[in-house]
């Protein structure tokens, strides 16, 4: 190198760099030094043919390369403008390129080890300038200074890139390092590079940080406040040596990561013979060292478990052994969570009904039992003094009042009673069986709004609006709540529903899936509304006579028969109730909301293990066995009885012994007094008492406890049309106590 005169060579170097193909160039021209005497600046341009292309499509336009003595190095370091794939923005970065037979054009294993502006990419025509007064200055195309080395106090002679990827600003004698990239690490530590106390590595994307603090090497997730999940002193091994030096730092060596601190040398040793070359703090919070022959060693995972990483199962995900991820189970029968991505359980879970500020009165804190949040017990974060030593109720209230609070972690230990309000929930884990666990985990969830006295639960599918199409056709638009993302599988399902046509099914005219609105389903408009408006009232102007009621009953039965038997895809409705029976202008009855339960099932990780439907209409087998289309037959039986009796299945306005329709129905059957139950506010019904009572026997058949004894819907249609007789042996008759009623079942907080 001694014979080359550097003062004029630099300019030549540039020309050469961008003209000659790279592999040859690196061998022929050492270019590790850039003199500050030349006033040249380098401009960021789109990738040229000479740029080095990475496996993933990224490019680097090289400004300076570490000096390589022919083939003797196993890798080379280069600095320049790096742009990732689309080249929307560039970083001034150092890349490390392994040499494969001296050829850097095979860039496999290449990696960015440092960047000046990791969070502020610059555009095309940005420039990098080296001056003796200011050192390196990176200026965006519009003239904004994005980054500089801030070396104004010292005169810079030149810039040198070492073969260990350290970029340094040197003085005139090459004696003093005025600035070096090793003092400003990003996410990577090179061999022999020191991470000093007070410095930190920040993972790409900024989620995690690793710093040397008074408590050793500590890893944090940058939540608000940051939450520690690894701490060096507890996990490093004592090397048996002491140091005299006072400074604290960690350093990567070829066999270990060594921590010098408080007079001690502590060490994490790599078990392999392969030499380590660099170490990166990665976007998943792992600290991995990489070495020759693609060797990788995870320093932290040898000390903490997979489930100890905060984002191992994404938000709200529960991590069990070997990083198996799942969503929180239903809480008291209601599912609140679904997988964010069906195929990727580690992506975490989200709320089926997202929390919305307008609906804050429906927010409740639901306990996840036997679940813990690892870091809080090991590494308690800073606590708001007002949240210390308070009772659980005060803690929960504080969270409910604070819209940024998404969960509460409460340390119920009597000496603590600490309340941690969380604005973000990372991965959770089950408590160790048999261990005393003081931590209580409460997640903020949003209950569905109630409608018409009945809680809809998961089975209730959103809000209905009236709409008009461009051709003036009136339509009903149903917004399918709780879908933040529309997936292809849903759309296929919606298309299936749309392809089902029957006179007694409300027709789906179209749908629209949009990020901002979720899923909108457009249905034919039914001018006379839902059946409940017609049968549960005492308004003499809106009385339905016996002929109309009979017709409505047969219509419902035909609609259900079609769903169960006639279409290509058997569909179990799961939520038959008067609110889901709609009437058109001629009082033709049509079943609505079919197929939607299927969409909900797709949404959830537990298929039909979740109770579904509306209390009061749900078949007894929901409590125990297999769910078949016979659950709809049961619900149909309840609706049938309500139509015949002109009252709700559960009616608080009745005397206590008569509140439950099924209970008095059973009693009246035994007493052979069914006529007492016929809707007495409707003269026409009383007039046809005999026929009405006959139809009550169909209801009794549908309400059999044993689902195998219930008729199919097609049989029901035949009975109603007088073709088949009612089964006479109806002894196993809904003996179960009535299912939990609405209030008891849902208001569980």
Ligand X SMILES: *[C@@H]1O[C@H](CO)[C@@H](O)[C@H](O)[C@H]1NC(C)=O
Which part of the chain contacts ligand X (CB under 6 A), choosing from 117-125, 193-201, 397-405, 719-727?
117-125
Q: Is residue 85 near ligand X by the rule CB under 6 A?
A: yes
254 counts as binding ligand X under rule CB under 6 A: yes
Q: Which residue has the tokens 């799961």?
A: 574
Q: Rounded CA gap, 250 and 194, in Å?
A: 6
Q: Which of 10, 32, 297, 345 binds ligand X (CB under 6 A)?
A: 32
> In terms of CB distance, is 174 or 451 closer to ligand X?
174
Q: Is there binding between residue 33 and ligand X (CB under 6 A)? A: yes
Stretch in the footprint of ligand X (CB under 6 A) among 136-144, 510-518, 628-636, 717-725: 136-144
Shortest separation between residue 538's beta carbon and ligand X, angstroms: 15
Tokens of 687: 């007039």
Host H or E run for residue 508: strand 508-514
Burial class of residue 177 in the structure, from the number of CB atoms within 10 Å of its CB (0-12 exposed, 13-18 middle, 19+ buried): middle
CB-based contact 676:668 (threshold 8 Å): yes
Q: What residues does 512 pair with on adjacent strands?
A: 520
Q: Which is nearer to ligand X, 255 or 684 (CB)?
A: 255
Q: Give the shortest CB-107-to-ligand X separation in angstroms.
A: 10
In sequence order, the 6+-apart residues with CB closer than 8 A to the CB of 369 are none
Provide, rounded to whole angstroms, the least separation between the CB of residue 161 and ligand X: 6
Q: Does 246 bind ligand X (CB under 6 A)?
A: yes
Q: Determine the Cα–Cα distance for residues 639 and 96; give it in Å rounded to an integer.
A: 72
Cα–Cα dist 669/539, whole Å: 29
- How many residues touch ligand X under the rule CB under 6 A: the total is 48
Considering only 123, 213, 272, 412, the residue that binds ligand X (CB under 6 A) is 123
In the residue annotation, 273 being an active-site residue is answered as: no
* 127 contributes a contact to ligand X by CB under 6 A: no
How far apart are alpha carbons 185 and 168 in whole angstroms? 13
* Nearest distance in Å: CB 205, ligand X: 9
Q: Specify whether the CB–CB gap between 347 and 434 falls below 8 A.
A: no
The β-bridge partners of 52 are 60
| Position 239 contacts ligand X (CB under 6 A) | yes
DSSP string, 626-667: ---THHHHHHHHHHHHHHHHTS-SB-TTS-GGGSBHHHHHHH
Two tokens, residue 533: 């408006």
Considering only residues 339 through 358, tell me which ones interact with ligand X, judged by CB under 6 A.
Answer: none
Q: Which two tokens stand for residue 307?
A: 């489930």
Do 141 and 218 meet the contact criterion of CB atoms below 8 Å apart?
no
Task: Compute the least distance from the CB of residue 241 to ligand X, in Å.
Answer: 7
**Which residue lies nearer to ligand X by CB, 265 or 491?**
265
140 scored as a contact of ligand X (CB under 6 A): yes
Q: Which two tokens stand for residue 268?
A: 């994490």
Among positions 150, 356, 609, 749, the unique one binding ligand X when judged by CB under 6 A = 150
Of residues 44, 66, 350, 704, which one binds ligand X by CB under 6 A?
66
Based on the shown chain and the rule CB under 6 A, indicate whether residue 142 belongs to the binding site for ligand X: yes
> Which of 120/628 has CB closer to ligand X?
120
Among 393, 472, 585, 731, binds ligand X (CB under 6 A): 585
Which of 50, 103, 255, 292 contacts ligand X by CB under 6 A?
A: 255
| Residue whose CB is less far from ligand X, 35 or 51 | 35
Dihedral of CA atoms 665, 669, 675, 681 in degrees, nearest 10, equals 0
For ligand X, the binding residues in 199-218 under the rule CB under 6 A are none
Decide: helix, strand or coil at residue 489: helix
What values do phi and psi take at 459, rounded to 5?
Answer: -70, -15
Burial (CB count within 10 angstroms: exposed 0-12, middle 13-18, buried 19+), residue 233: middle
Pick from 16, 29, 124, 675: which binds ligand X (CB under 6 A)? Answer: 124
Asked if 267 touches ligand X (CB under 6 A), the answer is yes
3-state SS, 240-283, equals: EEECCCCCCEEEECCCEEEEEECCEEEEEECCCCCCEEEEEECC
Site for ligand X in 674-713 (CB under 6 A): none
Q: Give the residue ranges of DSSP H helices in 242-385.
A: 374-378
Q: Does 171 contact ligand X by CB under 6 A?
A: no
d(CA 29, CA 105): 16
Which of 72, 173, 322, 516 forms a contact with ligand X (CB under 6 A)? 173
Return the residue of 265, 390, 475, 520 that touches ligand X, per CB under 6 A: 265
Window of 51-59, 628-636, 651-659, 685-693 that interacts with ligand X by CB under 6 A:
51-59
Q: Of 159-167, 396-404, 563-571, 678-686, which part binds ligand X (CB under 6 A)?
A: 159-167
The yes or no reply on residue 37 touching ligand X (CB under 6 A) is yes
Residue with smaller CB distance to ligand X, 122 or 662: 122
Please state, in angstroms and rounded to a whole number, the distance separating the CA atoms of residues 64 and 137: 15
148 binds ligand X (CB under 6 A): yes
Nearer to ligand X, 33 or 523 (CB): 33
Report, in Å, the least distance between residue 163 CB and ligand X.
5
Is 163 an interacting residue with respect to ligand X (CB under 6 A)?
yes
Q: Which of 532, 575, 632, 679 is catalytic?
A: 575
Instruction: Please report where in the chains the tokens 């709780």 appear, as a residue.
Output: 482
By CB under 6 A, name the one of 17, 35, 278, 291 that touches ligand X.
35
The per-residue DSSP string of 189-240 comes to EETT-EEETT-EEE-TTSSEEEEEETTEEEEEE--SS-EEEEEHHHHSEEEE
Give whole-number Cα distances, 640 to 78, 686, 700, in Å: 79, 16, 10
What minimum distance in Å lies between the beta carbon of 642 and ligand X? 19
Q: Under rule CB under 6 A, which residues in 360-419 are in contact with ligand X?
A: 369-370
CB 47, min distance to ligand X, A: 13
Which window, 254-262, 657-665, 692-700, 726-734, contacts ligand X (CB under 6 A)?
254-262
CB of 168 to ligand X, least distance (A): 6
**Which of 365, 321, 318 shows the shortest CA–CA distance to 339?**
318
**DSSP string computed for 398-419:** HHHH-TT--EEEEE--TTT-EE
Q: Does residue 54 touch ligand X according to CB under 6 A? A: yes
- Contact (CB, 8 A) for 213 and 169: no
Using CB under 6 A as the binding rule, whether residue 528 contacts ligand X is answered as yes
At closest approach, how far in Å is the CB of 69 from ligand X? 9
Binds ligand X (CB under 6 A): choice among 44, 51, 61, 84: 84
144 binds ligand X (CB under 6 A): yes
Give the Cα separation of 290 and 117 in Å (integer).
Answer: 24
**3-state DSSP assignment of residue 581:** strand
**Cβ atoms 35, 172 nearer than 8 A:** no
What residues are labeled active site? 575
The residues of the shown chain that bind ligand X, judged by CB under 6 A, are 6-7, 32-33, 35, 37, 54, 56, 58, 66-67, 84-85, 112, 123-125, 140-142, 144, 147-148, 150, 160-163, 170, 172-174, 239, 246, 253-256, 258, 265, 267, 269, 369-370, 527-528, 542, 585
């Amino acid at each position: 190198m001694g014979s080359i005169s550097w003062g004029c060579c630099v300019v030549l170097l540039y020309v050469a760099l961008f003209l000659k193909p790279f592999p040859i160039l690196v061998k022929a021209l050492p270019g590790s030094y850039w003199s500050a005497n030349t006033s040249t600046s380098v401009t960021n341009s789109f990738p040229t043919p000479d740029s080095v292309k990475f496996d993933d499509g990224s490019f680097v336009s090289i400004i300076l390369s570490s000096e390589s003595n022919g083939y003797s190095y196993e890798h080379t370091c280069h600095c320049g403008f790096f742009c990732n794939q689309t080249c929307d923005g560039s970083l001034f970065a150092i890349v490390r390129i392994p040499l494969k037979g001296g050829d850097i054009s095979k860039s496999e294993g290449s990696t960015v080890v440092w960047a000046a502006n990791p969070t502020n990419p610059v555009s095309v025509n940005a420039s990098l300038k080296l001056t003796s007064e200011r050192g390196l200055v990176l200026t965006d195309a519009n003239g904004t200074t994005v980054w500089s080395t801030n070396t104004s106090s010292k005169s810079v002679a030149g810039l040198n890139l070492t073969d260990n990827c350290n970029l340094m600003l040197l003085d005139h004698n090459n004696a003093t390092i005025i600035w070096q990239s090793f003092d400003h690490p990003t996410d990577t530590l090179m061999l022999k590079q020191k991470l000093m106390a007070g410095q930190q590595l920040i993972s790409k994307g900024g989620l995690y940080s690793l710093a040397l603090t008074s408590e050793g090497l500590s890893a944090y997730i940058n939540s608000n406040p940051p939450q520690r999940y690894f701490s060096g002193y507890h996990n490093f091994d004592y090397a048996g040596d002491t140091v005299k030096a006072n400074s604290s730092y960690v350093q990567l060596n070829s066999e270990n990561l060594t921590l010098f601190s408080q007079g001690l040398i502590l060490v994490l040793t790599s078990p392999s013979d392969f030499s380590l070359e660099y170490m990166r703090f990665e976007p998943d919070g792992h600290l991995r060292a990489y070495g020759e022959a693609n060797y990788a060693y995870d320093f932290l995972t040898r000390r903490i478990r997979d489930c100890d990483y905060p984002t191992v199962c994404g938000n709200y995900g529960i991590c069990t052994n070997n990083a198996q991820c799942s969503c929180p189970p239903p809480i008291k029968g209601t599912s609140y969570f679904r997988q964010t991505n069906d195929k990727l359980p580690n992506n975490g879970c989200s709320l089926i009904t997202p929390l919305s500020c307008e609906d804050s009165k429906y927010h409740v804190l639901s306990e996840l039992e036997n679940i813990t949040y690892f870091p809080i017990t090991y590494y308690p974060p800073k606590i708001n003094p007002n949240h210390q030593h308070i009772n659980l109720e005060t803690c929960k209230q504080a969270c409910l009042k604070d819209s940024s609070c998404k969960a509460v972690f409460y340390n119920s230990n009597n000496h603590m009673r600490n309340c941690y309000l969380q604005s973000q929930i990372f991965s959770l884990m089950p408590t160790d069986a048999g261990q005393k666990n003081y931590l209580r985990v409460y997640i903020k969830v949003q209950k569905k709004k109630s409608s018409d006295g009945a809680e809809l639960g998961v089975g209730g599918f959103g809000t209905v609006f009236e709409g008009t199409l461009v051709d003036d056709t009136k339509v009903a638009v149903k917004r399918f709540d709780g879908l933040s993302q529309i997936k292809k599988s849903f759309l296929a399902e919606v298309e299936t529903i749309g392809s089902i046509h029957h006179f007694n099914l409300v027709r789906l005219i179209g749908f629209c899936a949009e990020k901002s609105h979720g899923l909108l389903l457009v249905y034919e408009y039914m001018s006379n509304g839902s059946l409940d408006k017609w049968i549960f009232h005492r308004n003499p102007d809106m009385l339905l006579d016996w002929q109309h009621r009979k017709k409505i009953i047969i219509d419902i039965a035909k609609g259900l028969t079609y769903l169960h038997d006639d279409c290509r895809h058997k569909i179990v409705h799961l939520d038959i109730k008067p609110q889901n029976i709609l009437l058109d202008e001629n009082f033709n009855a049509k079943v609505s909301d079919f197929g939607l339960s299927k969409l909900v099932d797709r949404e959830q990780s537990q298929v039909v293990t979740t109770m579904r439907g509306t209390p009061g209409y749900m078949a007894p087998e929901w409590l125990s066995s297999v769910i078949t289309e016979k659950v709809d037959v049961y619900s149909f039986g309840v609706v049938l009885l309500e139509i015949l009796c002109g009252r709700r299945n559960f009616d608080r306005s009745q005397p206590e012994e008569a509140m439950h329709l099924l209970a008095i129905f059973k009693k009246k059957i035994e007493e052979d007094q069914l006529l007492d139950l016929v809707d007495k506010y409707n003269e026409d019904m009383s007039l046809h008492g005999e026929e009405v009572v006959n139809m009550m026997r169909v209801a009794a058949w549908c309400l059999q406890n044993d689902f195998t004894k219930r008729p199919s819907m097609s049989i029901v249609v035949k009975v109603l049309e007088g073709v088949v007789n009612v089964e006479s042996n109806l002894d196993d008759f809904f003996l179960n106590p009535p299912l939990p009623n609405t209030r008891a079942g849902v208001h569980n907080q």
